[in-house]
Structure 1
């Protein structure tokens, strides 16, 4: 099943005057324009490798990477290791401190048909193309994607708990999350990690675009090398792996914003009545609460007016997309089928890259953006459960794009993983 390897990570030189907290950055797909501009002011921040700017951004990132290596701004660790990564966080309205436990390693970039690594949602094509170009130019995995394995015995946790007691880094990130990184070099313990994952399938939780970039590059290189063995560096991808059995895994909802409607508001509301029960609500800031725990229920905020929408149960059977029942049961499938396709005429394939559609995790930001005229309407949805993610992955199907928001996000800048031949082989050889 899943083949993983330790890595000799590239990390910032400990002797730099800048602290590691100042060098980290949010992932490319969550960093805001304001955050990005602030981070660009530091010439050593990891944003310059993860979200390079300019007309020839990827090529410039590759040149900068080489410069950082030559000047000793980043150094490669001498020994291959498994990097333990814990994230401590709290959620609004909850006094508990959660901790998401996991580790960072290299993993084979399995093609979807191999059914070792399972995806759960669609990607946005333009974002994939951006990641492919950056990987091809830099030969560097700048940040780990997030994968889930299932181990009800918790075999690896004692070793991770022991390692995290002597961290390499401990910082607080832009999310208010405490991030702690440690490393395991013990050869026998590393072998246990490899053996434990060897019979597992991996569910791709976050980072579909970056993973598809690695997958595209692997396919391309395989086609160019008739002597392909499967052990070459281009076969591997950087991933943060967590145990799906942990209670501290959290998936937050991702709401939808539409810039405009192709019809008058009154007509849109009238057409909604064909499929939904519509209840006006006084306070838009309660929309997320009135739908909690209710199947196929959504909040709608349109032109200063709030509504609770709930699908009429008898119309659910009308969904004619060629999906298994596990996907048809999802709230977001109902939303994308009945609201976007049947009512607004935005068909499924168009929805993946529809310019007028944006995504927002923060509920209050949705209301604020509609009030400020930055969006015409907001559609508020419930979170998806871990069990739903597992069922969809195992069905072989995918959810609509931006279905899940695994919280917290990992950060960029703690470590980088090279797939250059002379920078990768030591890690591979140590395990084979």
Structure 2
């Protein structure tokens, strides 16, 4: 089908090299700390959704020269599937999502000046109502300005770890077979959407955990065991639970248990005891992640859900929202839901800088990049 689309010009090759500005406009609910009024993105839905905009620059990343820091481990199965797709299509149909630090916004400002007042070259909405807009900028001086701004910066993988590693594997495979790139658009490059963490729409949603299929699970027994290290209090509603999480964001470590129709907050009593609670030679920054504390100080010691159980995917389901997690428990599809604050963007970069991996499902950058928005056919010379 890809070859048919190219032949019938459903997909058209751009005539000149350039960069793209990719703008996503979406709405995301935020929670408010009842004591300070501060708003915490992505923790719930009790307030009217806030309109946000996230901008990214779409460009090619040279795999032979550039490196991007990961924050999560990859699995063999997804990489094998993507490698088969590369072999069959010799094309990139999706992008990796990269982050960078640019407080002065040099790269995006250079592009915004060129497109000011200009309608997007493409505009659409996804199934969730999020707007996706694209501008093509082939101006050589603008491209050079973007390159100058981005080349010195560290790049971090937000989403697309499997695609990135598979692209590297496919490049090595092509080189081993004596293949050569016929230009920059080949197996030595990967398309990427690069987003400045200073963008107001660069946010992460939390990923609630729903526990199921545990033999003889008892909320009371669990709480009795957990309250040695966590202060346990009854919470009246989901709205109140969101307030508890928002109040703790960035200042402490709080979690919400929902089971048997009731909410309970679990607040870590003493962060200084994390070294005792979380064994192993891990950096302090990793131990302080809320998602780490949930997995290593709550799920593993009190419910027996360790890394091996998580890998088997037998007792934990990941929900997209707090409402979904609660609904799964109410519907009898889960025994308990654990709600938590989202990982902060700066925490992702900090962990990547340390060269360690976060626990599974630590980040949910929202919204996702639109698949097929800009594709790249690889130009390859074969022996």
Give the TM-score of the pair, scaled to structure 1: 0.75
**C-alpha deviation, 1:339, in angstroms:** 2.4
Aligned twin of 1:289? 243
**C-alpha deviation, 1:335, in angstroms:** 0.8
Aligned twin of 1:203? 156
Deviations 1:124-179 (A, max 9, x none): 54333333332232222212121111122222223322326231112222232221
2:267 aligns with one of 267, 288, 310: 310
CA distance in 2, matches of 1:123, 1:293: 33
Aligned twin of 1:375? 334
Gaps of 5+ in 1: 1-63, 423-432
Contact in 2 for aligned 1:82/1:105 (Cα 8 Å): yes
CA distance in 2, matches of 1:73, 1:248: 32
Aligned twin of 1:69? 6
Contact in 1 for aligned 2:110/2:145 (Cα 8 Å): no
2:144 aligns with one of 174, 186, 191: 191
**C-alpha deviation, 1:105, in angstroms:** 1.2
Q: How many residues align?
A: 356
Gaps of 5+ in 2: 30-46
CA distance in 1, matches of 2:288, 2:337: 22
**C-alpha deviation, 1:354, in angstroms:** 2.4
Deviations 1:313-364 (A, max 9, x none): 1541221233211111100011111223222333335524524322222111
Contact in 1 for aligned 2:98/2:157 (Cα 8 Å): yes
Contact in 2 for aligned 1:277/1:309 (Cα 8 Å): yes
Deviations 1:93-124 (A, max 9, x none): 3675322121111113479xx8x311122345
CA distance in 1, matches of 2:143, 2:229: 54
Aligned twin of 2:302? 343
CA distance in 1, matches of 2:81, 2:225: 38
Contact in 1 for aligned 2:182/2:379 (Cα 8 Å): no
Contact in 2 for aligned 1:284/1:301 (Cα 8 Å): no
**C-alpha deviation, 1:393, in angstroms:** 1.6
Which deviates the most, 230-239 or 313-322?
Answer: 230-239
Aligned-partner SS, 1:156: helix
Aligned-partner SS, 2:204: strand
Deviation beyond 4 Å, 4+ runs, structure 1: 222-232
Q: 1:140 to 1:226 in 2, by over 3 A?
A: closer
CA distance in 1, matches of 2:244, 2:133: 37
Aligned twin of 1:103? 57
CA distance in 2, matches of 1:352, 1:204: 22
CA distance in 1, matches of 2:121, 2:199: 24
2:18 aligns with one of 75, 81, 89: 81
1:138 has 2:89 as partner: yes
Aligned twin of 1:387? 346
CA distance in 1, matches of 2:208, 2:144: 42
Two-structure CA RMSD over aligned residues (Å): 2.7
1:398 has 2:357 as partner: yes
Which deviates the most, 88-97 or 139-148?
Answer: 88-97
**C-alpha deviation, 1:275, in angstroms:** 3.4
**C-alpha deviation, 1:240, in angstroms:** 0.4
